[in-house]
Amino acid sequence: MDSAFIIEKSVFIVVIFAITMIMAMYSTWAERKVAAYLQDRVGPNRAGWGGLLQPLADGMKLFAKEEFFPNTPNRFLFVVGPAIAMSTALMTSAVIPWGDKLHIFGRDVILQATDIDVSILYVFGIISIGVYGVMIGGWASNNKFSLMSSVRAASQMVSYEVAMGLAIIALLMMSGTLSLKEIAEQQSGFWKDGWFTWNVFSQPVGFLIFLVCAFAETNRTPFDLAECESELIGGYHTEYSSMKMGFYLFAEYANMFISSAILAVLYFGAYNYPGMQWMSDNVGVNAANILGIVVLFIKICFFIFFYMWVRWTIPRFRYDQLMHLGWKILIPLAIVNIMVTGVCILVFK
């Protein structure tokens, strides 16, 4: 392991961390702008041009606020809750392939922090421990509403993880690998052997199930029952103030960014775009791959916009409807999808 490799990876990890943070910051701005547009308002427009400095102002405000601790016997766990939520939101970005390789200073730089051959399982592992942030925080608040909310959040996440995993299995059966990098490479080009290469065209049902589950896992409307304010005051972060509250909110937006990236990588061809091969043959490998990164970020931004679009269009479900959808509709649908995929693989391959 040479030092150039370590420097390269360290720089890359810092860049990814910064990008995740900036995307999460500007998602809060975009969310208010989209909400304002959908409700025929102007939205934030005081701080900077078009309100572009609004996230910075919000951050300053949250840092300057009073640190309030509720009367709880578990002050340590109270602080650990938002920390877990934030760390798990950031950890998943390690295995996402952000682009094909770049050729810089005579070295091939692979645009992925690490390429382990179980990347999808790694993502699932991190998602499954993400629920601890909510559970521990909600319980340590020593408040009945927070506890109710964290119990809701936990049961919701556990239920939808099952459907999410089953939706992915159909995709894995087709790709034959668990590595996100290889799944991204398999979707290169746009048209091959008489069908689209992007997975969304061969796994439409799986994509829909995964999308719905991603909404549930990130706690976004219509599945944001964990913070249903008409029933639970503010949800699991009722007792939180200042930047600890900010961490919970921020983690939600970071999760949104990461899950959009995973949706784009798994189903929407990752960094591939039609004519990528032509670009790298005629214009240069670096130019083609940088365009690939831009394309990936356009796809991610589209999914983030989609999250917001849904949030301001569809009202919240009732809790029994949520459980009904998860266990009685999505899971059987995912199992049927697996069986159909299996039969198709047997017949066509």
Partner 1 sequence: MSPILITFYFLAAITLATAFLTIYSKNPIHSAIYLIICFFSIGGHYLLFNAQFLAIVHIIVYAGAIMVLMLFTIMLMNLNKEDEVHKPRITRLGAIVVFVVMSIVLVTIFINSKTIVGEYDTSGEDFQSIKKLGNVLLNEYMVPFEYASVLLLVAMIGTVLLSKKEKPGK
Report, in Å, the least distance between residue 199 CB and partner 1.
Answer: 19
Report, in Å, the least distance between residue 105 CB and partner 1.
Answer: 29
> Mask of contacts with partner 1, 51-90, x by CB under 8 A?
--------------------------x-------------
User: Contacting partner 1 (CB under 8 A), which of 35, 47, 116, 335?
Assistant: 116
CA angle 277, 100, 307 (to 5 degrees): 100
Q: Which helix (H) or strand (E) holds 318?
A: none
Is 210 one of the binding residues for partner 1 (CB under 8 A)? no
Q: Are 141 and 72 spatial neighbours (Cβ–Cβ below 8 Å)?
A: yes
User: Contacting partner 1 (CB under 8 A), which of 78, 98, 139, 223?
Assistant: 139
Report, in Å, the least distance between residue 91 CB and partner 1.
Answer: 12
User: Contacting partner 1 (CB under 8 A), which of 78, 98, 122, 268?
Assistant: 122
User: Contacting partner 1 (CB under 8 A), which of 118, 298, 336, 340?
Assistant: 118
User: Contacting partner 1 (CB under 8 A), which of 124, 190, 201, 302?
Assistant: 124
Of residues 151 and 335, the one with the C-beta less far from partner 1: 151
Q: Which stretch binds partner 1 (CB under 8 A): 14-22, 118-126, 215-223, 321-329?
A: 118-126
Residue 245: CB partners within 8 Å, gap ≥ 6? Answer: 62, 82, 237
Of residues 54 and 141, the one with the C-beta less far from partner 1: 141
Q: Tokens representing 14?
A: 């810092």
Report, in Å, the least distance between residue 206 CB and partner 1.
Answer: 20
Question: Could you give the CA distance from residue 252 to residue 218 in angstroms, rounded to a whole number?
Answer: 6
Listed in sequence order, the DSSP H helices in the chain are: 3-38, 54-64, 75-91, 119-140, 144-175, 180-186, 199-202, 204-217, 229-232, 242-267, 276-282, 285-311, 319-323, 331-348
Q: Is 195 exposed, middle or buried (0-12, 13-18, 19+ CB in 10 A)?
A: exposed
Question: Could you give the CA distance from residue 261 to residue 98 in angstroms, rounded to a whole number?
Answer: 9
Question: Could you give the CA distance from residue 36 to residue 30 in angstroms, rounded to a whole number?
Answer: 10
Name the site residues for partner 1 (rule: CB under 8 A).
77, 116-118, 121-122, 124-125, 127-129, 131-132, 135-136, 139, 147, 150-151, 154-155, 157-158, 161, 178
